[in-house]
Amino acid sequence: MTDSKGRVFSGARPTGRQHLGNYLGAIRNYVALQDDYDCVYCIVDLHALTTLEDTSKLRAWTYEMALDWLAAGIDPEERDTILFVQSHVPQVTELHTLLSMVTPLGRLTRLPTFKEKVRQQPENVNYGLVGYPVLMAADINPLQGRHGARRRRSSAPPGVHAGYRPPLQPPLRRRADRAAGQVHRHSQGTGARR
Protein backbone atom coordinates (compact mmCIF):
# COMPACT_ATOMS: atom_id res chain seq x y z
CA MET A 1 0.00 0.00 0.00
CA THR A 2 1.34 3.38 -0.95
CA ASP A 3 1.19 6.66 0.92
CA SER A 4 -0.03 8.65 -2.09
CA LYS A 5 -3.48 7.07 -2.38
CA GLY A 6 -6.59 7.08 -0.23
CA ARG A 7 -7.92 3.78 1.03
CA VAL A 8 -11.13 1.98 0.14
CA PHE A 9 -12.51 -0.84 2.27
CA SER A 10 -15.51 -2.85 1.14
CA GLY A 11 -16.91 -6.23 2.03
CA ALA A 12 -19.56 -8.52 0.60
CA ARG A 13 -21.41 -11.48 2.06
CA PRO A 14 -21.14 -14.79 0.19
CA THR A 15 -24.82 -15.70 0.39
CA GLY A 16 -25.05 -17.26 -3.06
CA ARG A 17 -23.33 -17.49 -6.40
CA GLN A 18 -22.12 -14.27 -7.98
CA HIS A 19 -24.17 -13.04 -10.94
CA LEU A 20 -24.34 -10.19 -13.44
CA GLY A 21 -26.01 -7.92 -10.87
CA ASN A 22 -23.04 -8.39 -8.51
CA TYR A 23 -20.66 -7.54 -11.33
CA LEU A 24 -22.56 -4.44 -12.48
CA GLY A 25 -23.38 -3.25 -8.97
CA ALA A 26 -20.06 -3.71 -7.20
CA ILE A 27 -17.34 -5.86 -8.73
CA ARG A 28 -16.55 -3.70 -11.74
CA ASN A 29 -16.33 -0.68 -9.41
CA TYR A 30 -13.96 -2.62 -7.13
CA VAL A 31 -11.73 -3.33 -10.14
CA ALA A 32 -11.75 0.29 -11.36
CA LEU A 33 -10.98 1.73 -7.92
CA GLN A 34 -7.66 -0.12 -7.83
CA ASP A 35 -6.20 2.44 -10.24
CA ASP A 36 -6.71 5.35 -7.85
CA TYR A 37 -6.90 3.87 -4.34
CA ASP A 38 -5.31 1.37 -2.02
CA CYS A 39 -8.12 -1.16 -1.91
CA VAL A 40 -8.99 -3.65 0.80
CA TYR A 41 -11.76 -6.08 -0.11
CA CYS A 42 -13.18 -8.63 2.28
CA ILE A 43 -15.43 -11.63 1.79
CA VAL A 44 -17.43 -11.36 5.00
CA ASP A 45 -18.39 -14.99 5.53
CA LEU A 46 -19.01 -14.53 9.26
CA HIS A 47 -21.59 -11.85 8.48
CA ALA A 48 -23.29 -14.28 6.10
CA LEU A 49 -23.96 -16.61 9.04
CA THR A 50 -26.40 -14.06 10.49
CA THR A 51 -28.99 -14.70 7.80
CA LEU A 52 -28.17 -18.04 6.17
CA GLU A 53 -30.25 -20.88 7.48
CA ASP A 54 -28.48 -23.49 5.36
CA THR A 55 -24.72 -22.99 5.58
CA SER A 56 -23.76 -26.13 3.65
CA LYS A 57 -22.68 -24.10 0.60
CA LEU A 58 -21.01 -21.21 2.44
CA ARG A 59 -17.48 -22.52 1.97
CA ALA A 60 -18.04 -23.09 -1.75
CA TRP A 61 -19.69 -19.67 -2.22
CA THR A 62 -16.78 -18.01 -0.41
CA TYR A 63 -14.24 -19.75 -2.64
CA GLU A 64 -16.24 -18.97 -5.79
CA MET A 65 -16.61 -15.32 -4.78
CA ALA A 66 -12.85 -14.98 -4.40
CA LEU A 67 -12.29 -16.63 -7.79
CA ASP A 68 -14.92 -14.43 -9.45
CA TRP A 69 -13.38 -11.25 -8.02
CA LEU A 70 -9.91 -12.29 -9.13
CA ALA A 71 -11.17 -13.26 -12.58
CA ALA A 72 -12.92 -9.89 -12.92
CA GLY A 73 -9.63 -8.06 -12.32
CA ILE A 74 -9.08 -7.58 -8.60
CA ASP A 75 -5.32 -7.92 -8.57
CA PRO A 76 -3.47 -8.33 -5.25
CA GLU A 77 -0.12 -8.90 -6.94
CA GLU A 78 0.11 -6.05 -9.43
CA ARG A 79 -1.97 -3.40 -7.69
CA ASP A 80 -1.25 -4.02 -4.01
CA THR A 81 -4.92 -4.69 -3.38
CA ILE A 82 -5.69 -6.71 -0.26
CA LEU A 83 -8.31 -9.43 -0.65
CA PHE A 84 -9.14 -11.58 2.36
CA VAL A 85 -11.76 -13.87 3.82
CA GLN A 86 -13.03 -12.55 7.14
CA SER A 87 -12.97 -15.89 8.99
CA HIS A 88 -9.35 -16.50 7.93
CA VAL A 89 -8.10 -13.52 9.95
CA PRO A 90 -8.27 -14.43 13.66
CA GLN A 91 -7.62 -10.83 14.70
CA VAL A 92 -11.08 -9.89 13.38
CA THR A 93 -12.83 -12.32 15.74
CA GLU A 94 -10.49 -11.39 18.60
CA LEU A 95 -11.26 -7.68 18.19
CA HIS A 96 -14.96 -8.50 17.82
CA THR A 97 -14.85 -10.27 21.18
CA LEU A 98 -13.09 -7.32 22.85
CA LEU A 99 -15.47 -4.78 21.35
CA SER A 100 -18.46 -6.94 22.35
CA MET A 101 -17.38 -6.73 25.98
CA VAL A 102 -17.67 -2.93 26.00
CA THR A 103 -20.80 -2.59 23.86
CA PRO A 104 -24.11 -1.95 25.63
CA LEU A 105 -26.67 -4.51 24.48
CA GLY A 106 -29.48 -1.99 24.76
CA ARG A 107 -27.77 0.28 22.26
CA LEU A 108 -27.40 -2.57 19.78
CA THR A 109 -31.06 -3.58 20.03
CA ARG A 110 -32.19 0.02 19.45
CA LEU A 111 -30.34 0.35 16.13
CA PRO A 112 -32.66 0.73 13.12
CA THR A 113 -30.66 -1.86 11.17
CA PHE A 114 -31.25 -4.47 13.88
CA LYS A 115 -34.97 -3.68 14.04
CA GLU A 116 -35.22 -4.00 10.25
CA LYS A 117 -33.50 -7.41 10.27
CA VAL A 118 -35.84 -8.61 13.03
CA ARG A 119 -38.79 -7.58 10.84
CA GLN A 120 -37.27 -9.38 7.84
CA GLN A 121 -36.51 -12.63 9.65
CA PRO A 122 -38.50 -12.86 12.90
CA GLU A 123 -37.94 -16.62 13.10
CA ASN A 124 -34.13 -16.25 13.10
CA VAL A 125 -33.20 -13.46 15.54
CA ASN A 126 -29.72 -14.44 16.71
CA TYR A 127 -26.69 -12.87 18.37
CA GLY A 128 -25.13 -12.37 14.93
CA LEU A 129 -27.89 -9.92 14.07
CA VAL A 130 -27.47 -8.05 17.33
CA GLY A 131 -23.67 -8.03 17.11
CA TYR A 132 -23.46 -7.29 13.38
CA PRO A 133 -22.34 -3.65 13.87
CA VAL A 134 -19.69 -4.78 16.36
CA LEU A 135 -18.30 -7.28 13.86
CA MET A 136 -18.35 -4.56 11.17
CA ALA A 137 -16.27 -2.33 13.43
CA ALA A 138 -13.84 -5.22 14.00
CA ASP A 139 -13.55 -5.68 10.22
CA ILE A 140 -12.85 -2.05 9.51
CA ASN A 141 -10.87 -0.63 12.43
CA PRO A 142 -7.61 -2.58 12.04
CA LEU A 143 -7.41 -1.55 8.39
CA GLN A 144 -7.68 2.18 9.00
CA GLY A 145 -4.21 3.09 10.05
CA ARG A 146 -2.24 6.24 9.88
CA HIS A 147 -0.11 6.72 6.80
CA GLY A 148 2.99 8.50 7.95
CA ALA A 149 2.36 11.29 10.43
CA ARG A 150 -0.99 12.46 9.13
CA ARG A 151 -4.43 10.94 9.00
CA ARG A 152 -5.99 10.50 5.60
CA ARG A 153 -9.61 10.20 4.69
CA SER A 154 -10.60 6.92 3.11
CA SER A 155 -13.05 6.62 0.27
CA ALA A 156 -15.98 4.45 -0.66
CA PRO A 157 -16.96 2.74 -3.89
CA PRO A 158 -19.53 4.54 -6.06
CA GLY A 159 -22.96 4.11 -4.57
CA VAL A 160 -21.60 3.89 -1.03
CA HIS A 161 -21.41 6.92 1.23
CA ALA A 162 -17.83 8.13 1.58
CA GLY A 163 -16.72 8.03 5.17
CA TYR A 164 -19.47 5.55 6.13
CA ARG A 165 -18.90 3.78 9.37
CA PRO A 166 -21.09 1.37 11.25
CA PRO A 167 -23.17 3.49 13.64
CA LEU A 168 -21.29 2.26 16.70
CA GLN A 169 -17.75 2.33 15.32
CA PRO A 170 -16.49 5.61 16.87
CA PRO A 171 -18.09 5.04 20.31
CA LEU A 172 -16.88 1.43 20.38
CA ARG A 173 -13.37 2.52 19.50
CA ARG A 174 -13.37 5.05 22.35
CA ARG A 175 -14.86 2.57 24.87
CA ALA A 176 -12.35 -0.12 23.92
CA ASP A 177 -9.48 2.33 24.19
CA ARG A 178 -10.63 3.44 27.66
CA ALA A 179 -11.10 -0.16 28.83
CA ALA A 180 -7.96 -1.74 27.41
CA GLY A 181 -5.68 1.00 26.15
CA GLN A 182 -5.42 1.71 22.43
CA VAL A 183 -6.44 -1.60 20.85
CA HIS A 184 -6.21 -0.37 17.26
CA ARG A 185 -5.30 2.67 15.23
CA HIS A 186 -7.77 5.43 14.52
CA SER A 187 -8.66 6.95 11.19
CA GLN A 188 -11.09 9.56 9.98
CA GLY A 189 -13.26 7.34 7.84
CA THR A 190 -13.74 4.35 5.64
CA GLY A 191 -16.06 2.97 3.05
CA ALA A 192 -18.04 -0.13 3.86
CA ARG A 193 -20.62 -2.08 2.02
CA ARG A 194 -22.66 -4.95 3.34
**Average pLDDT of the chain, as a whole number:** 80
pLDDT of 159 > 90? The answer is: no
For the chain, domains (ranges, CATH) are: 6-180 (3.40.50.620)
Dihedral of alpha carbons 16, 85, 98, 1, sign: negative
pLDDT of residue 142: 75
Q: Please, which pLDDT band fits residue 151 given cuts at 50, 70 and 90? A: very low
- Euclidean distance between CA atoms 152 and 129, whole angstroms: 31
pLDDT of 77 > 70? The answer is: yes
pLDDT of 162 > 60? The answer is: no
Q: What is the per-residue pLDDT across 166-194, written as a single tens digit (0 to 9) for each? A: 555 566 667 666 766 665 554 444 444 33
pLDDT of residue 191: 42
The dihedrals phi and psi of 60, each to the nearest 5 degrees, come to -65, -45
Gap between the terminal Cα atoms of the chain: 23
Between 160 and 64, residue with greater pLDDT: 64
pTM check: above 0.85: no
Between 77 and 186, residue with greater pLDDT: 77
pLDDT of 87 > 90? The answer is: yes
Amino acid at 140: I
Between 192 and 15, residue with greater pLDDT: 15
